[in-house]
Amino acid sequence: MSLLVVLAASVVAGLIGYLTGLASLVSYPMLLAVGLPPVSANVTNTIGMVSVGLGSTIKGAGTYMPGMSRRQVLAQGFIAGLGGLTGGFLLLISGDGVFEHIVPFLVLMAAVLLLAGPRIKRIRSDGTWPVWLYDVLLYLVCIYGGYFGAGSGVIFMALTTLATSLSFDQAVWFKTTLMSVSNLAAGLYFVFSGEVNWPVALALAIGFFAGGWLGPVVQRFLPEKVLRWVIGVGGIGLACYLWFSA
């Protein structure tokens, strides 16, 4: 019965994760509720979440890839993987307490920048940021994603919508793809840790894949302004939660 609960909840979490980058707000408490210890829940969740990006990439590539540079997509996928590996390694050697007190501020700042993005872009007249600068910042975001993870999708959205020429809808799709690459790379450290609950991880992966696949379908019916506000307000809520739980 608990695996069916995990499967059903992870479909919802995968859809939320694709649209907002906040899947763990649903999936992590759900894993605790079905009896997984905190460390096992965190590691199992990281492994399972890779499937969100797999589902959304397959479903959304034909819609959102046109107009994007394949060379840059591949390069930034490599950067995301490298960042995830770095973050996972840092987590293993230092624990997750390093970011604990600054994470709320990072997520809050990203949420505010995301909400203010259209106004900021109207004020700025110098177009997109240099690719090398975006790549460096992307690497740092993915280190954070592999190390701690909470709100990394919101931070990615703020960076990408401000720094690149991608449309908001393209950024939503690309977020899920790159964050999943980062999760996959970080998850390599966890495979042999003994903390992964593999039956639950499989149920998560199936549900997350379905939710990720549904994401681009649902996205077509959501106006950009609505989705931007949902992500931004969700990010502010996450920042408050992290602040009070730190």
Count of H-run helices and E-run strands, the chain: 10, 0
- Phi first, then psi: give them for residue 207, nearest 5 degrees: -65, -45
* pLDDT for residue 125: 55
Domain limits, the chain: 2-245
* pLDDT for residue 123: 61
pLDDT-above-70 percentage for the chain: 93
Q: What mean pLDDT is predicted for residues 219-223?
A: 91
- Give the pLDDT confidence of 74-132 residue by residue, as tens digits: 999 999 999 999 988 887 777 655 566 777 887 888 888 888 877 776 666 566 788 89
- pLDDT at residue 189 greater than cutoff 90: no
Highest mean pLDDT among 68-82, 184-198, 231-245: 68-82
pLDDT-above-90 percentage for the chain: 35
Q: What mean pLDDT is predicted for residues 214-226?
A: 91
In whole angstroms, how far apart are CA 169 and each of 60, 63, 161, 166?
10, 10, 10, 8
- Give the pLDDT confidence of 120-147 residue by residue, as tens digits: 766 665 667 888 999 999 999 998 888 7
- 196 contact partners, CB below 8 Å, separation of at least 6: 40, 43, 44, 47, 190
Q: What mean pLDDT is predicted for residues 197-204?
A: 93
- Phi first, then psi: give them for residue 129, nearest 5 degrees: -80, 160
Q: How far apart are CA 93 and CA 91, in angstroms?
A: 6
Torsion of CA 146, 151, 155, 161, to 10 degrees: 120
- Give the pLDDT confidence of 1-59 residue by residue, as tens digits: 588 889 999 999 999 989 988 887 788 888 888 888 887 888 888 888 899 999 999 99
DSSP annotation of 129 reads P
Query: Nearest CA to 216 among 171, 183, 150?
Result: 171
DSSP annotation of 86 reads H
* pLDDT for residue 147: 79
What SS3 string covers 178-219?
HHHHHHHHHHCCCCCCCCCCHHHHHHHHHHHHHHHHHHHHHH
